[in-house]
Amino acid sequence: MPELPDVEVFSKNLDKFLTGRKLVKIKVVNGKKLPDTAKDLSKNLEGKILKRIYRSGKEFRFEFEDGTLLGLHLMLTGDMFLFAEKNDHHSTIVELHFAGNKNLALTDRMRNAYIKLNPVDKEGVDAMELDFKYLKKIFNRKTTIKNILLDQDLIRGIGNGYSDEILWEARISPYSIASAIPDEKIKELVKIIPKLLKEATDKIDKSHPGIINDEVKEFLKIHRKVNEKSPTGYPIHIDTKGSRKTYYTDEQALYA
């Protein structure tokens, strides 16, 4: 699933491609899991000018000039593709047709990606806007710190890959109990989280101009299968629980 840096770059590029254009038609190809009907989507969106596209956590927001919002979530396996006359991409969920043959297809082989009219943001604070007081508060839980970082109702934007990167930078084991994290480490995280995510965003933007799909992972230090050791020479361990893989090293202190 694309995380904050990917979604930030995708949003920026989509905004360049589509903002200012009229949404001529919305075509629902597979609407079984969509929360809104094709009729409601057409009624609320067609004929309106797109004002801007921006990121909200790990989701996209398409804001139209009258204030109507369309949320888009890629989930685990969703993708977006621009096309002109004909959409040749498989597993399409919906097509957005804009004036000037600038069209966008949302696809997902697992059929879980979706769009939603006037979505409400989750309650979590955006990962770029954290402060010590808030982290201290949400860390007062008897659960692992990684679970806290992944909970979008607490912190919006961080996923599995970047949680491992953040915790390695802070030298905190992902299995540390959140309530046991000392204040000095929480203060480090307040600085590390936005810095790491901003650096990742800049790297993706620079190395993949115009990108609107896929996840860019080649510069990750820890959460990457081809890396056997950390930049400091420690072996990288990989734990698998269900579909989630956790990457970490023995450099990371366990707080319990």
**Is the pLDDT at 222 greater than 90, yes or no?**
yes
Whether residue 106 contacts residue 80, with contact meaning beta carbons closer than 8 Å, is answered with yes
Residues of the chain with CATH 3.20.190.10: 4-117
85 band by pLDDT with thresholds 50, 70 and 90? confident
pLDDT at 14: 98
Q: Is 233 exposed, middle or buried (0-12, 13-18, 19+ CB in 10 A)?
A: exposed
CB atoms within 10 A of CB 130: 21
pLDDT at 35: 97
Tell me the mean pLDDT in the region 50-65: 98
**Is the pLDDT at 68 greater than 90, yes or no?**
yes
**Is the pLDDT at 106 greater than 90, yes or no?**
yes
60 band by pLDDT with thresholds 50, 70 and 90? very high
Maximum Cα interatomic distance, the chain, rounded to a whole number of Å: 58
Categorise residue 118: left if φ over 0, alpha if ψ from -120 to 50, beta otherwise.
Answer: left
Tell me the mean pLDDT in the region 93-104: 97
pLDDT at 242: 84
Helix axes 183-207, 160-169, angle to 10 degrees: 120
- The set of residues, in sequence order, having a beta carbon less than 8 Å from that of 234 and lying 6+ positions away, is 249, 250, 251
Q: How many CA atoms lie within 13 A of 235 on its CB side?
A: 3
133 band by pLDDT with thresholds 50, 70 and 90? very high
Model confidence over 25-37: pLDDT tens digits?
A: 999 999 999 999 9
**Is the pLDDT at 107 greater than 90, yes or no?**
yes
Distances (CA, A) of 215 to 109, 155, 194, 254: 16, 20, 19, 29
**Is the pLDDT at 243 greater than 90, yes or no?**
no
Average pLDDT, the chain: 97
Residues of the chain with CATH 1.10.8.50: 125-248
Handedness of CA 54, 57, 58, 64 (dihedral sign): negative
CATH number 3.50.50.60 given to 125-248:
no
**Is the pLDDT at 162 greater than 90, yes or no?**
yes
Model confidence over 165-218: pLDDT tens digits?
A: 999 999 999 999 999 999 999 999 999 999 999 999 999 999 999 999 988 999
65 band by pLDDT with thresholds 50, 70 and 90? very high
Tell me the mean pLDDT in the region 148-166: 97
**Rounded Cα–Cα distance for residues 239 and 244 (Å):** 8
* Domain 4-117 class in CATH: alpha beta
